[in-house]
Amino acid sequence: MERLRLSEAFLPTSCTAAVFSGETHHLELNQIPLPMLGAGEILVKVTACTLCGSDLHSVEGRRKVPVPTILGHEIVGQIAAIGGDITPADLANAPLHVGDLVTWAVVANCGKCFYCERDLPQKCLHSVKYGHEAFRPGKELLGGLAEYCLLVPGTAIIKLPPHLPTSVACPASCATSTIAAVLEAAQPLKGRSICILGAGMLGLTACAMSRSLGATHVICVDPQPFRRELALKFGATHTSDSMQLGETLRSAGLLHGVDAVAELSGNNSAFESVWPLVRLGGTIVLAGSVFPSPAIGMALEQLVRRQITMRGVHNYGPRHLRTAIEFLASEHQNYPFESLVKQWFPLEQISEAMTAGKEPSAIRIGITMTQE
C-alpha cells in the first residue's frame, strides 16, 4: 500500500491523539503512527472537533465505549492524502482532492448488508463509527481528538462551503444531521406545530430547522430559563417548562394538541408530561434517550385510539448529512449557531476542555489542533 496525491515529505510519521483507555475522567496524550493508506482510504488533517454530550458521558463513565479509543465525532478537517488511484467524490458528487475542507458521517457503512439494504446504513453490520472504535492495528486514528483522522471506505463525505464558520460546521456531522433525520420522520411540518423537548444543541437546531421547514408553532420545553431564552433566538415561537406545557399550548391556540413531538432531552419525565398532549393522529419522534434509563409506563390503548405514530431515530443516513450542510449554509446567519461553541481549547488542554463541557451554560466546547 502506498500514499498517493501527496508526497510523504509533507506528512509526519505520527501525530498526537487524546486516548481514552476507560479510566474515568482521564485522557492521555499519546503519539500514534500515521497509517499507510489502502485503496479508498483518506487521511484528514483535523482542523477542529467539538465535544458532544456522548463524549462527556463516556469519559464520566456513564456510557460504555470500546477502549482504548480516540473519542470525538463532530469533526472538520482538510484532506491530507488519498489512497488508491481513483478520485473519490462527496455526497454531492463533487470530486475530492487534497486540501479540501470536509466533514463526514459518524458511521461508515458497507452499502450491501441487511440493514444497509433497508435504509438503515447507520446500523450497518460492518460499520465503522468514528469516535467509538477500539484500536486495531493501522486503524487507531478513527476519532476527532487527534491531529489526523483516517476515513475508511464507505464513509459519506461532504465538502464544506468556504463561508461556513468552523464552529457552525463541526456539530453538523452529529447534532444537525440527527435533527435532519428526526424532522424527516416528523413530517409534514409546513403550517403545523411541533413541540421540542430539550434546548441543548439538538433542541436549538430543531427549533431553527423546524421554522425553515415552515412550522408555524415551535414550542421548546426546557427546565432552564436561560436555555428557553436561547430557544427563542433559534426560532421557537413559544417556550415552557414541562409543568406549564398544557397552559402554553392552550395560550398558543393548540386546543387539539401538537402535531408532532421531538423528544431530544432523554428525560423520562419530560416525555411523560408531553405525550398525552399530542393531537389525535400526531407523531412522536424519540432521539434523546441514548443511554440506559428506567422504563416508563404507557397506556397502549391511548396510542391505538388516538392513532399516534411513535418512532425512534438513532444517528442518521448520508442524505441527512447533506441536508444538514445545505441547511447550515443557507440559514446559519439567521440564527446564532456560531455562538453555541462557548470556548475553544488546544488538544493539549483536553482535560480542561472536558471540565468546561460539564458547565450547564456550555452548549458546546471545541478543540482546535495547533500543529502547522
Residues 80 and 117 in one domain: yes
- Does a structural domain hold residue 289? yes
- Does a structural domain hold residue 330? no
Residues 93 and 206 in one domain: no
24 Cβ neighbours under 8 A, 6+ residues apart: 59, 60, 61
pLDDT computed for residue 370 by the predictor: 59
Cβ–Cβ < 8 Å for 263, 285: yes
Total number of domains in the chain = 2
Residues 11 and 153 in one domain: yes
Residues 137 and 184 in one domain: no
Helix, coil or strand: residue 266: coil
3-4 and 74-83 beta bridge pairing: antiparallel
Determine the longest span between alpha carbons in the chain, in angstroms: 68
- For residue 194, give Cα distances in angstroms to 6, 77, 332: 49, 35, 21
pLDDT computed for residue 62 by the predictor: 86
- Does a structural domain hold residue 286? yes
Listed residues 312, 328, 357: the one ending a domain: 312
Residues 154 and 48 in one domain: yes
The residue with cell 468552523 is 166
Residues 146 and 210 in one domain: no
Whether this prediction's pTM lies above 0.85 is answered by yes
Question: What residue numbers bound the domain in which 49 lies?
Answer: 3-160+336-368
d(CA 303, CA 222): 25
Task: Identify the burial level of 162 via C-beta atoms within 10 angstroms of its C-beta, where 0-12 means exposed, 13-18 middle and 19 or more buried.
Answer: exposed
pLDDT computed for residue 9 by the predictor: 47
- Does a structural domain hold residue 187? yes
Cβ–Cβ < 8 Å for 63, 291: yes
pLDDT computed for residue 5 by the predictor: 44
Task: Identify the burial level of 175 via C-beta atoms within 10 angstroms of its C-beta, where 0-12 means exposed, 13-18 middle and 19 or more buried.
Answer: buried
pLDDT computed for residue 371 by the predictor: 46
> The domain that contains 293 carries what CATH number?
3.40.50.720
With b for 16 or more beta-carbon neighbours within 10 A and e for fewer, the 277-297 pattern comes to bbbeebbbbbbbbeeeeeeee
d(CA 258, CA 41): 46
Residues 220 and 341 in one domain: no
Averages of pLDDT over each 10 residues, the chain, 372 residues: 45 96 95 96 98 94 93 98 94 96 98 98 98 97 98 98 96 97 98 98 98 98 96 98 94 96 93 93 95 85 95 97 98 96 97 94 92 42
pLDDT computed for residue 63 by the predictor: 86
